[in-house]
Amino acid sequence: MYEWIILLLVGLAAGILGGMMGVGGGVIVIPALMFFMGLSQKEANATSVAFMLAPTGLLAFINYYKAGLVNIKYAIILAIAFFIGAYFGSAWAIKMPIDTLKKLFGFLLIFVGVKLIFGK
C-alpha cells in the first residue's frame, strides 16, 4: 500500500508540473523512483518511458522491456496519476502569472539538480 501512495503522489506531482511547466518524467519521476522507490537509474529511466509511452517512447519502451528493466505496475499507477495531475497543472498554469511560472520552473530545476549531484 505504501508504494501505491508514493507512486500516486509522484504521478500527480509529475502531471501537475508537466501540465504547468512541461516537465514530468525526467525531472520528477526518474529522481523520485530512484530516491523513494529504490530503482536504479536504468530502471527509473525505463519505467518513466513506459508510462509516457505513446507516441515518442514506444521504441525505447520495447528496448527497456526486452532488457527486463521496466516495472509495469509502477508505470501503470504513474500513468493514471499523471493523467489526472496534468489536467490540474495545466489549469493552474493558465491562471498563473508568467513570471511566477518561470520562477517555479527555475527553482524546480535547481532543486532536482542539487539533489542528483549531492544526494545519495
Give residue-wise pLDDT tens across range 18-53: 777 767 767 888 889 988 999 988 888 878 878 776
Give residue-wise pLDDT tens across range 64-112: 899 999 999 999 999 899 889 888 888 888 888 888 888 887 898 899 8
Residue 1: Cβ-neighbour burial (10 angstroms; 0-12, 13-18, 19+): exposed
Alpha helices in the chain (DSSP H): 2-21, 30-37, 41-51, 58-66, 72-95, 98-118
Residue in the structure block whose three cell numbers are 511566477: 100
Burial 67-84 (b: 16+ CB within 10 A, else e): eebbbeebbebbebbbee
Which of the four pLDDT bands, split at 50, 70 and 90, describes residue 56?
Answer: low
CB 89 within 8 A of CB 15: yes
pTM of this structure:
0.65
List the chain domain ranges. 2-118
Q: What is the pLDDT of residue 112?
A: 85
Query: What value does the mean pLDDT take over residues 4-14?
Result: 91
Which of the four pLDDT bands, split at 50, 70 and 90, describes residue 6?
Answer: very high
